[in-house]
Amino acid sequence: MLNWDLMIDSNVKGLLYVTRSVLPWLRKSQTPHLIYMSSIAGKQTYENGVVYCASKNAVEAISEGLRLELAEDYIKVTNIAPGEVETNFSEIRFKGDIERAKQVYLGFEPLQSPDIADLVRYVISVPNRVCIADVTILLRDKFLLAKS
């Protein structure tokens, strides 16, 4: 078992508890918007990632369900699913093995946190009549590598 409780507690329960706590405030807001970060892992499972992928798939389902449930309150719900962003995720996944974590990004330049921040900035800047429901942001170079 690889931190199953932590993954479920943070990615699923934490998301639900925080959402429940901010909903009263959002219902009073002029431009209410929930933005969730799932992952490409919520759309495509990978070996040895069953629970993590399941927890991120739950984020996808929560986003979709709340988008429907909160429509009458005019609360926008956006799900962003990044793939291969250079974070400390690989270090955690490989229990602090920094060399193994570096191997994940060999041969390509991964997405960076400013790439995701730019996307969030765009999502919140669209006119109030627009809701960007779901965005998957991937590294272009991975498609090039797949062709070689």
Report yes or no: 35 and 81 within 8 Å, Cβ to Cβ. Answer: no
pLDDT exceeds 60 at position 147:
no
User: What's the whole-number mean pLDDT along residues 46-72?
Assistant: 94
Q: Which of 17, 36, 46, 52 is catalytic?
A: 52
Residue 76 annotated in active site: no
Domains: count for the chain: 1
CATH number of the domain to which 84 belongs? 3.40.50.720
Residue 74 annotated in active site: no
Residue with tokens 């389902």, as numbered in its chain: 61
pLDDT at position 22 is: 97
Q: Which of 43, 46, 56, 122 is catalytic?
A: 56
> Cα dist. 126→70, 72, 91, 107, 131 in Å?
19, 19, 35, 35, 8
pLDDT exceeds 70 at position 145:
no
* Residue range(s) defining the domain that contains residue 135: 4-147
